[in-house]
């Protein structure tokens, strides 16, 4: 899906087909609730949430919603992510299945806590 560079998360979501937009909005809302102090940004052309550093990214695709919590997020929740296609720092949630929003929230909270811990060590 070739798209113009988004100016913000609303702009990013609006560029998707109507059936994908609600899924992206749910991801955004879930992440925002899990990390209320995080700033919404566009990074690498995708929506991201930043709190001292990028906590997570998410992205829309034709057949899945990509979620990018980094290596530590995938590794820590590996057992719960079984059944989803994943790689070193990413996971794909098929658009024809309910999004695991509770799991997404737990991963985001983990990443926020991890970020705060790393920032304190600086």
What's the CATH code of the domain at 61? 3.90.1150.200
**Domain annotation covers residue 122:** no
**Domain annotation covers residue 120:** no
Q: Count other Cβ atoms within 10 Å, centred on residue 92.
A: 16
Give me the domain span that covers residue 68. Answer: 9-114
Tally of domains in the chain: 1
**Domain annotation covers residue 2:** no
- CA–CA separation, 29 and 13 (whole Å): 12
Full strand arrangement of the beta sheet holding 91-94? 39-43, 46-51, 53-60, 64-68, 91-94, 85-86
pTM here is 0.92
**Domain annotation covers residue 1:** no
Can you give the pLDDT at residue 1?
A: 47
Residues of the chain with confidence (pLDDT) below 50: 1
Can you give the pLDDT at residue 4?
A: 75
């Amino acid at each position: 899906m070739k798209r113009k560079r988004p100016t913000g998360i609303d702009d990013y979501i609006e560029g998707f087909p109507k059936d994908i937009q609600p899924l992206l909005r749910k991801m955004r809302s879930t992440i925002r609730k899990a990390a209320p102090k995080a700033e919404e940004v566009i990074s690498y052309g995708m929506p991201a949430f930043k709190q001292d550093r990028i906590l997570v990214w998410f992205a829309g695709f034709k057949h899945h919603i990509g979620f990018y919590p980094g290596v530590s997020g995938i590794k820590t929740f590996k057992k719960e992510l079984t059944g989803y296609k994943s790689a070193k720092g990413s996971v794909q949630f098929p658009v024809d299945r309910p999004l695991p929003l509770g799991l997404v929230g737990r991963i985001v909270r983990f990443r926020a806590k991890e970020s705060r811990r790393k920032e304190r060590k600086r």
